[in-house]
Amino acid sequence: MGGSAPVFRQDCSMNPTPVLEQNSVQEPQRLARMRDEASVLSFRRKVKFIDRLATGVISVSGLGIIAAVLGIGVFLFLEITPLFKPVHVGTPAEYALGGAGAPIRFVRVDEHQEHAAVIGSEPHVLLVDLANPDGEQRSVPLEGLENQRVSAIGENPSGTQVAVGTEDGLVWVGDIGFKTAFDGSKRGVQPVITPQQTIVLGSGAAVRAVAFRSLESREVLAAITDGGVVASRTMVKRPLVGEPRRERQDFNLPVDRFGQPIAVLVSEDTQQIVIGTDGGTLLRWRVPDDGLPELVEQILAVRDGAISAVAYLLGGRSIVVGGGDGSVATWSLVRDEESADGWGLQKIHVFASHPQAITVVSTSPRDKGFIAASAGGLMRLYYMTSERTLAEFHVSGRPAAGEYAPKTNGLLLANDNRLSHWQINNPHPEVSLGTLFGKVWYEGYPKPDYIWQSSGGTDDFEAKFSLVPLVFGTLKGTFYALLFAIPLALLGALYCSQFLEKRLRSRVKSTVELMAALPSVVLGFIAGVVLAPLAQRHAVTVLIMPVVLPLVTMIGMLLCGAVARRTGQGFLKRNEFWLLMGWVVAGAFVAGVLGPVVEKLIFSGNFEAWLLAKTGTQYDQRNSLVVGWTMGFAVVPIIFTICEDAFSSVPKHLTGASLACGASLWQTAWRVVLPAAGSGVFSAIMIGFGRAVGETMIVLMATGNTPVMDWSIFNGFRALSANIAVEIPEAPHGATLYRILFVAALLLFSMTSLVNTVAEVIRLRLRRQLQGL
């Protein structure tokens, strides 16, 4: 058969059933895969969106926190910048003086700086309208000095009393000032010139310098005349019925051997007369109620010239001395046991000198500022406490008289025929870096010192704004708190993480962490009301407890270990914690028993009296010891928690390797776990430091808040935070004290920020060193 074999072909198009069946099976799978892919893609987009949103929120929040912290710092800085702004001095207004008579000897201005009273050589007061330089000037005669020629004037810068001396030896005493009156809503300023008495000096010689002060029962006049120095003491007797009786005594003060007298002052209490001579000698006389005046002190105040001008600063405890050589200095009364009256003048501040002799010294009626003008027309504004030259002026002619405005916001200076008037803005003259952080020699103190005393009982008080005692108090309280807290928290955390049974570990840790929830005001209240009196009654017990309690506890646990080795250690392992607590209580009991015995044997039965007699230290009930306990109690939970977490995070292979090499649990904890957790321990201590530095209520309530610089644990201190809490309610907004409190806040802010920054840098460095373990 030569024919070919039949060929059978399968035509898919003719028989599509198997392909359709396959497609029908694959299509749902493909659709499902597409849905799954779409779902996954949608999920990924959501995750990316949420991730980006979370990243943005976290980034913005982090930047917000940084901005808020920086904003706080910037706000504090802006609040303190006005303290260091220079004095603003306006353009002077000039007024021609006609009819007062040359030379001008007296200038006075009202508190609104609208009117001035001027006295020259003529016996009348020339009233000048400062609001109208071209206005008419009118004269008011001094009653009782008709046809006299004024030769000297002495004034009280803190009052209105004036003594006017004449060429014929008369002294007119009266008040020259201004009063404010209102006609409806319109304010008016009226001059007040009230004569009190006219004193006739026995010699009748011309008066060249005069000073007068009066009290209710006593008046003292001192005058330098062509015939010498005359002093007059008048005792005012006030009977129950009738007019007061005046008994006057005059004295001649022999000063010729010290040189020609030039300037004279009478103290506010009328007990002293101070005289300056052309030989540069300052003489201080005591004027008793009975008997003759007594020369109690003579000092060389100007070495190379005469004393050309003197004036008492506000309060009458310091004297501004201007020299013929242009020198300017302040002398203050300080305690001197060798002096006849127990006081002595001491030069406490020296200021920038002038090129020529000082002719005018005028002191502020509100603070320790003053102006000094020299013969060449140079005038400078000084402040005693800060020892600063605040401003400098130049005028034409020889300055003859000057006046500080009552609100210290203006100055007047007169020469022979013109009056110059400056508006000034000088709100914080007492502040400088030296007064805030350096030693300052304050009135009445024997030497320069760091002192904080923001207020006093009188208006003439010299504010003392040294922040050094407050910084010292902050560091002192922090030191004693950490001295108590670090060993207790660190060793407690080490014991809890490495030795304590697991069933007790969480309970102990939770209990310690619960301590952090106690409000600091509650702790401070308990410390001040309960702990402070208790510690005072049992002071010796408290002092020996740090030695007795650990010693008894250690001996007790060694005894328990010895017993356990003989009888089996099962009981000891199960109850180690409670046995430890029991021995701690026993140690406290033993310290309580031994305290009175030790006090009787060593401290003669009275520790406080012994401490005062032997060391000169006064035991204050609210002292650093009580604060150290209480603030340490507040810091312990923070350090304990962080340290315990750090110890528990040490890799197990490190502790296992140590134990496998034969080390004991204690050796492993001390030599392996503690170094390995060094960064965490350091962070815990620094955070505890920051907590202690910023503590307010405990320090406020548990210390005496005395800003002293003494490391003794038996007296108190004042911290920056507590000082802000105490002072801010009494500080007027924008005043010097208010802004200095912001300086204290900035210091506190800077301290904590610096400590935290340094701590973080060191922590990261330690972490990098230990990360390979």
DSSP-based three-state secondary structure for 297: strand
- Residue 442, pLDDT score: 92
Q: Are 518 and 634 spatial neighbours (Cβ–Cβ below 8 Å)?
A: yes
Written as six digits, the tokens of 59 are 């980034």
| Cα 441 to Cα 435: distance, rounded to the nearest angstrom | 10
| Alpha-carbon distances, residue 699 vs 427, 627, 719 (angstroms) | 32, 6, 7
Written as six digits, the tokens of 56 are 């943005």
- Residue 752, pLDDT score: 87
Helix spans in 603-733 (H): 607-615, 624-648, 652-660, 665-668, 674-676, 678-693, 697-702, 720-727
Partners of 211 in the β-ladder: 222
Q: Are 148 and 123 spatial neighbours (Cβ–Cβ below 8 Å)?
A: yes
User: Is residue 60 within a helix (H) or strand (E), and if so which, with residue range?
Assistant: helix 17-80
pLDDT by 10-residue block (mean), the chain, 773 residues:
46 50 66 78 86 90 90 92 90 85 89 91 90 83 89 85 92 91 82 89 86 90 91 86 84 90 92 93 92 91 91 92 94 88 91 93 91 92 92 88 90 88 90 92 91 82 91 92 92 88 83 85 89 88 87 86 71 74 88 88 87 85 88 91 88 87 87 87 89 88 86 89 90 91 93 84 75 61
DSSP-based three-state secondary structure for 468: helix
DSSP-based three-state secondary structure for 567: helix
Q: Which of 434, 376, 382 is nearest to 408 (CA)?
A: 382
Helix spans in 499-623 (H): 502-515, 520-526, 532-537, 539-567, 570-602, 607-615
| Cα 598 to Cα 124: distance, rounded to the nearest angstrom | 81
DSSP assignment of 112-179, as one string?
A: TSSEEEEE-SSSEEEEEETT-TTSPPEEEE-TT-TT--EEEEEE-TTSSEEEEEETTSEEEEEEEEEE
| Cα 504 to Cα 586: distance, rounded to the nearest angstrom | 22
Q: Which of 112, 81, 84 is nearest to 190 (CA)?
A: 112
| Cα 672 to Cα 603: distance, rounded to the nearest angstrom | 45
What is the DSSP pairing of strand 369-374 with strand 378-383? antiparallel
Kindly give, in sequence order, each residue whose CB lies less than 8 Å from that of residue 273, ignoring residues fewer than 6 positions away. 211, 220, 222, 231, 253, 264, 265, 266, 267, 284, 285, 287, 293
